[in-house]
Amino acid sequence: MSLDKQQLRIFYKKLRAGLSDEDLEKKSLQILDNLIVFLKERKDLEHFHLFFPISKQREINTFLIKEFLEARKNTIYTSRVEADSLALQTLQLQPNTKFYLDKWGIPVPKDYLLVSNEMIQVVFVPLLAYDQKGNRIGFGKGYYDLFLSSLDSSVCKIGLSLFSAELHIPSELHDIPLDFCITPENILTF
């Protein structure tokens, strides 16, 4: 039996909610370990767009990835939602920036440069679920689909997931699949 997108969202939100803080941190560290392996073979990648975790959604602790990328002297970007829009503005993080939570609970940097997205080489894509072809399900607002469609097709799209792949997720014409997904156990290529 195949679940539709809304059923999958509900299922994976419940699955995440069942993780203890310790399990979430352990899985986040395992994802970081696999990312380190992934990047050892890709030293030319220097410009990374990173989402930051909404704690009430039990997202991966991407601050661990931020610290690793900063230690490598990489340039890190994130986004914030433009007022009354689905468009995301690209923010280049400044060293040692502090964060505040916006109205959705998303950590937003206090110190940043508003920049174009043309330098970005890698986007870490938030998701609830993904399938064996790289199709993904987010929270259903469409922010990342619109953002990914604005980028050069050569930009590497990497999902970060706490769980393994579904066999199949229904996709639509505007959906942009992942190139890779990094989980606590694997590095998947699509």
Binding residues: 5-9, 59, 136-144
Binding residues for substrate: 59
Helices 63-71, 21-40: inter-axial angle, 10-degree rounding:
30
User: Residue 188 in contact with residue 177, Cβ under 8 Å?
Assistant: no
Q: Please choose, from the candidates 49, 44, 175, 45, the residue with its C-alpha nearest in 3D space to the C-alpha of residue 116.
A: 49
Two structure tokens written together for 141 = 């607002």
Two structure tokens written together for 128 = 């609830």
Three-state DSSP at 146 gives: helix
Return all residues near 25 (Cβ < 8 A) that are at least 6 apart.
Answer: 61
Binding residues for ATP: 5-9, 136-144
Helix, strand and coil in the chain, % to nearest 5: 25, 25, 50
User: Residue 175 in contact with residue 141, Cβ under 8 Å?
Assistant: no
User: Residue 86 in contact with residue 142, Cβ under 8 Å?
Assistant: yes
